[in-house]
A and B are shown apart, each in its own frame.
Chain A
Amino acid sequence: MKPGFDPVTYAVPAFILLVLIEMIWAARKSPNSYEPRDTLASLAMGLGSTVIGALTGGLIGLLYWWVHQFRLFDIGWAWWAWGLCFVLDDMAYYWFHRAAHRIRWMWASHVNHHSSQHYNLSTALRQTWTGTIALGFLFRAPLVLIGFDPAMIAFCAGLNLIYQFWFHTEAIRKCPRWFEAVFNTPSHHRVHHATNPLYLDRNYAGVFIVWDRLFGTFQPEVEAHPVHYGIVKQLGSFNLLWIAFHEWAGIARDAWNAPWGSKLGYLWRPPGWTHDGSRDTSDMIRERWLARDQAVSSE
């Protein structure tokens, strides 16, 4: 394999084809699953993300190669290293993704992906333009330090991303039970894109849903609670620049207006945190909803 080989590039035609197939399905079965302006915004975000990724990817690669000189082991290219690298990379993705929802600096980048009120294959392509600034690449650095070759990590990360494409759909309700138990699926990931209090900040997995089961963040999709997609405060806009930068603007505004002692809190605390308690974090929304639900159930 050549260093820098990116499997995602080769998957793009398949992505486009599958979006078209899903559109045909939607036209027959669920016309409001797609909305032309929403789809265009998602595709434009995906295109922008690809261009910016190509520009910044080299810098991250250089950083990984620099870190690689301090590696603990020489793992090399043994057959077993591929499998191990894929599994560990997926765990690194889980923690990256969890941090991306829990630290506002990282959320400002990741929120782009959640900003659509639709959940279809084009939503999978709605990717961030500011991922490098959000420092998400640091979560894979431990794999480099352990001794996995950066090119192997990049390849596994590419496969991981490709896997994550197909489950952004409402066309598939449930997969076989054994598959739902181990792998991330459309049902599990619908929960992740939901704004329902019960579902907030759940199911961070990339490929293996077992990480959520293991680390206490798993929530199955429940028929009694149909999913509402998007973000807690829906954007109400198809403006690309607003989609890409609204949360960064929000951080700047909040930090500017906050007293000195609280300014940094708007960078590293969870989205929704305020120094004066005037807004809600997802934990607060979820806990309040669960308390009300419990009270209603016990009446």
Chain B
Amino acid sequence: MGLGQDVRLRDESHARQLANAAVSDFEAASLTLDRARTGALLRDGNGRVMLLRRHGAHFAARLLDNHAFARLDRNFLTIGTGETAFGSVTLDLGDQAQVWASSFRRLEGRLP
């Protein structure tokens, strides 16, 4: 019947809107969309990092804390939230993958 179509993030504005809907005081200061637009990483002015990923015909978000982990493989960043049910996500972030990987090292308290 064609129900539950393939949803993608339309653009950065769409990702910002979804992030704000997930956490009402989250105003993204910077963000990177996955190349396939099935997810995104966003950071707000307070340094909080949010993972946005596709869930069925919608998106689900998580603010990442020190339970999160990231694994970098060239342009791909695999992010785990520490929640088994939410799972881990691999995003193709292009040349921004390295930058976000550094953010995660800061989240883990390994870098200043």
Contact = CB atoms under 8 A, between A and B. Distances in A.
A230 B66 CA distance: 26
A230 B87 CA distance: 19
Interface in A222-257: 228, 230, 233-239, 242, 246
A234 B61 contact: yes
A192 B60 CA distance: 19
Given A196-B21, A234-B22, A27 B86 contact: no
Interface stretch (B2-10, B28-36, B69-77, B98-106): B2-10
A276 to B, nearest CB: 14
Contacts of B85: 235-237, 239, 242, 246
A34 B61 CA distance: 20
A228 B58 CA distance: 10
* Most interface-central of A38, A196, A236, A285 (chain B CB within 10 A): A236
B4 A32 contact: yes
Given A195-B21, A234-B55, A27 B60 contact: no
Contacts of A58: none
A272 interface: no
A112 interface: no
B111 interface: no
A38 B21 contact: no
Contact of B56 (A38, A195, A197, A233): A38
A34 B55 contact: no
Secondary structure type dominating chain A contacts: helix
Interface string A255-299: 000000000000000000000000000000100110010000000
Contacts of A36: 3-4
A262 B87 CA distance: 30
A117 interface: yes
Interface in B32-88: 53, 55-58, 60-62, 85-87
A103 interface: no
A26 B57 contact: no
Contacts of A195: 21
B94 to A, nearest CB: 24
Given A228-B21, A292-B25, A117 B1 contact: no
Contacts of A239: 85
Nearest to A36: B4
Given A117-B56, A236-B60, A239-B85, A35 B4 contact: yes
A88 to B, nearest CB: 37
Nearest to A34: B3
Contacts of B13: none
Contacts of B62: 233, 236
Contact of A285 (B5, B21, B24): B24
Contacts of A213: none
Interface string A28-43: 0001111111110000
A50 to B, nearest CB: 24
Contacts of B7: 32
A193 interface: no
Contacts of A39: 3
For the complex of A and B, the 9 pairs showing the least CB-CB separation, nearest first, are A35-B4, A236-B60, A34-B3, A35-B56, A234-B60, A117-B58, A35-B57, A32-B57, A27-B1
Interface of B: 1-5, 7, 21-22, 24-25, 53, 55-58, 60-62, 85-87
Interface of A: 23-24, 26-27, 31-39, 117-118, 195-197, 228, 230, 233-239, 242, 246, 285, 288-289, 292
